[in-house]
Structure 1
């Protein structure tokens, strides 16, 4: 159950950092795609708990994130084809996980930004996984995203792809926090647990501004997501907090579930945790969330009380 760090090489010679936690006799494997402005090591408590239930965990450090990212690149995918590279990195990680555990069921777990990377992965490489969990996700609101993309691309054209825009930050994370005034911190929207929020704020690898280039890649990538072309037999599990502004306080999340079903996607489960905010695995009811994730991994063999 000790943390192990390794690297795999992408086709463009980028070294993809991986964090792994393995029990002695794993019966399932979970690949984690983390969110924006955070990093893979933050999932260690969940990973170690899953190890106790014979689940091996491998977490990828996305480009522009994590301790091996140069300061100048923090919050920036790549100068060209950033979204495609991040999605293809994830595919390299899944291939690696399959080689490590060839006979085990493999679940892909994506949190927030990672949930959209996971959806883009599923669209392109869906036959390579057995199960998909989308955590703290939201619908793809195309009219709103198209308008945002026009603004972001204008900023990128005027200030450069590596410009870090205060306006974009205020429109995103700043707007999320307004739902919780009076605010104790700038990131109250992350969790009801003040210790978790403070831990995030003290982490130099969390909470940084992302570049106009990353935002352009990210929004463009979301707009390309089309669940109608996904595998129709892939079980998809969705979970979110009812007080998560990213999921429009549950409304956008519920519409996402409806839209997926309308597209013919096999929605195996949906769960809205009452009162929970954005980082479900770091919430005051984290134990309940962790048990739910375990049930999503192996519903046919586990009867874990939620």
Structure 2
């Protein structure tokens, strides 16, 4: 159950860090795609708990994130094709997990930014997974996203792709905290647990500003997500807090569920946790959330072994 770190190489010679936790006799495997301005190691408590219940866990470190990312690259996917590169990195991680656990059902778990990378992956490589969990996600609001993309691209042309825009930071992460005024910190929107929020703020690999190049890649990638192109038989689970500003306090998540169903996607479960904010796995009711995640993971039965 101890954390293991390994690397796989992408076609453009990027070294993709993978963190893994393995029980002795796993009955399932889950790959985690983390959120923006955080890192994979933050999922260790959840991963260790899942291994105690027979689930092997691998977590990819996305480009522009994590301890192996240089200061100059922190918050930046790539100078070209950044979105496709992070999606392809995830695909390589899934292939790696399949090689390690060829006979086990594989679940992809995406949180926040990772949930959108996971949806893009599903659109392109959906036959490579058995189950999809989208955590703290939101609907694809195309009119709003197009306006944001135009703004980001204007700034990018004026200042360059690696520019860190104070304006974009205020319009995104800065706006999320307004719903919880008066604020104790700048990131009260993450969790009701003050210890978790403080831990995030003290972590040098969390809460950093992302480049306008990353924002352009990310928003452009979200606009390409089309559930009509997904596998119809892939079970999809959605979970969020009904006080998560990223998911429009649950309203955006509910609309996303409706849009997925209208597209013929198999929504296997949907759950809004009352009072919970953005980081569900680090919330005051984390145990309840972990139990729900475990319940969503298909497992190999004894008769299949």
- TM-score, length-scaled by structure 2: 0.98
3-state SS of the aligned residue for 1:109?
A: strand
Q: 1:1-306 to 2 correspondence within 5 Å?
A: 1-298=1-298
Q: How many residues align?
A: 301
State the alpha-carbon separation in 2 of the partners of residues 208 and 67 from structure 1.
13
2:39–2:206 contact (8 Å) kept in structure 1: yes
- Cα deviation, 1:205-243, whole Å, max 9, x if unaligned, reads 000000000000000000000000100000000000000
Which secondary structure state, in structure 2, belongs to the residue aligned with residue 6 of structure 1? strand
Specify whether residues 261 and 299 from structure 1 end up closer, same or farther in structure 2 by C-alpha distance, changes over 3 A only: farther
For residues 85-108 of structure 1, the C-alpha deviation after alignment (integer angstroms, 9 at most, x for no partner) is 000000000000000000000000
- In the aligned structure 2, how far is the partner of 1:179 from the partner of 1:100? 44
Superposed CA RMSD in Å reads 0.8
1:121-177 deviation per Cα after TM superposition (whole angstroms, max 9, x unaligned): 000000000000000000000000000000000000000000000000000000000
For structure 2, list consecutive stretches of 5 or more residues without a partner in the other structure: none
Runs of 4 or more, structure 1, over 6 Å off, are none
Could you report, residue by residue, the CA deviation over 1:24-80 in whole angstroms, capped at 9, with x for unpaired residues? Answer: 000000000000000000000000000000000000000000000000000000000
Tell me the CA shift for residue 116 of structure 1. Answer: 0.1
Q: What CA distance in whole angstroms lies between the structure 2 residues aligned with 1:273 and 1:75?
A: 30
Q: C-alpha displacement at 1:299, in angstroms?
A: 7.7
Contact 2:39 2:66 (C-alpha < 8 Å) held by counterparts: yes
SS in 1 for 2:18: strand
In structure 1, the gaps of 5 or more residues are: 302-306
Give the TM-score normalised by the residue count of structure 1.
0.98
Q: Please say if residues 23 and 56 of structure 2, whose CA atoms lie closer than 8 Å, have aligned partners that are also in contact.
A: yes
Q: Provide the C-alpha distance between the structure 2 equivalents of 1:175 and 1:140, rounded to a whole number of angstroms.
A: 18
Which secondary structure state, in structure 1, belongs to the residue aligned with residue 72 of structure 2? helix
1:304 maps to which residue? Answer: none
Cα drift, residue 298 of structure 1: 2.6
Aligned-pair distance for 1:300? 9.3
The structure-2 alpha-carbon separation of the partners of 1:299 and 1:57, relative to structure 1 and needing over 3 Å to count, comes to closer
- Asked if 1 retains the 8 angstrom alpha-carbon contact of 2:46 and 2:281, the reply is yes
The residue matched to 2:161 in structure 1 has which SS? coil
Give the C-alpha shift of residue 17 in structure 1. 0.2
